[in-house]
Amino acid sequence: MGVKLEAMMLTLLVLHLIGATLWVGGHLILALGILPQALREGSAKRILDFEARFKLLGHSALVIQILTGIEMARRMQPKMGEWFSFGSSLDRTIFAKLVLLGLTLVLAVHMKKRVLPGAGDDPRKLAMHVRVVTVLALGLLVLGASFKGGWVL
């Protein structure tokens, strides 16, 4: 049974890492490649085109990360109430990931409901949002790596 559990955890981890690769990589491309070009050109077209092309893949990757991340956290700390207790490094790290995830989801809704409709063709109205979501994605990546590399919190 132990080998079967390890195989399941490895499967979850691989799926989670694929999702993270797509999510973080997409946001790095947007923040470091597309955003600077859009700002130089003074047009949001490149950003909006990328967002339209990346949306399905990016959202799918995020859903995969959420589902696999919650299941891995549940396997590492079965008492979900402990995730909010700050009783151990594991609990604090899970909590921190949940906070960053929550902020990411809030920003996604904000982007869709407020930022995109009012952006027009001004890339500056999108720039801060792109940068913040990219930093959150990198924060999630670092916290995720800390599960294997040693506790961050």
The pLDDT-based confidence of 114 (bands split at 50, 70, 90) is confident
Which of 32, 25, 83 is closest to 54 using CA atoms? 25
Contacts 24+ apart (CB under 8 A), 8-13: 8/75, 9/72, 9/75, 12/68, 12/71, 12/72, 12/75, 13/68, 13/72
Instruction: For 26-76, write each residue's pLDDT tens digit.
Output: 999 999 999 999 999 999 999 999 999 999 999 999 999 999 999 999 999
Q: Number of folded domains in the chain?
A: 1
Q: Please tell me the predicted confidence (pLDDT) of residue 5.
A: 66
Determine, yes or no, domain membership for 69: yes
Q: Read off the pLDDT of each residue in 123-130 and give the average, rounded to a whole number.
A: 93
What is the helix (H) or strand (E) element at residue 88, kind and residue range?
none
Q: Give the domain range for residue 92.
A: 2-147
Q: What is the pTM of this model?
A: 0.90
In a domain, 81, yes or no: yes
Q: Quote the pLDDT of residue 121.
A: 86
Residue 53 domain-assigned (yes or no) = yes
Residue 152 lies in a domain: no
* Domain membership flag for residue 28: yes
- Confidence tier at 3 by pLDDT (50, 70, 90): low
If pLDDT is split at 50, 70 and 90, which confidence band does 152 have? low
In a domain, 72, yes or no: yes
Residue 1 has pLDDT above 60, yes or no: no
Whether 110 maps to a domain, the answer reads yes
From the list 50, 53, 65, 87, the residue with the least C-alpha distance to 20 is 65
With a cut of 70, say whether residue 2 has pLDDT above it: no
CA 75 to chain centroid, in Å, comes to 20
- pLDDT, one tens digit per residue, over 80-89 is 999 999 888 8
Instruction: Determine, yes or no, domain membership for 153.
Output: no
Residue 55: alpha-carbon gap to chain centroid: 13
> Are the C-beta atoms of residues 39 and 123 closer than 8 Å to each other?
yes
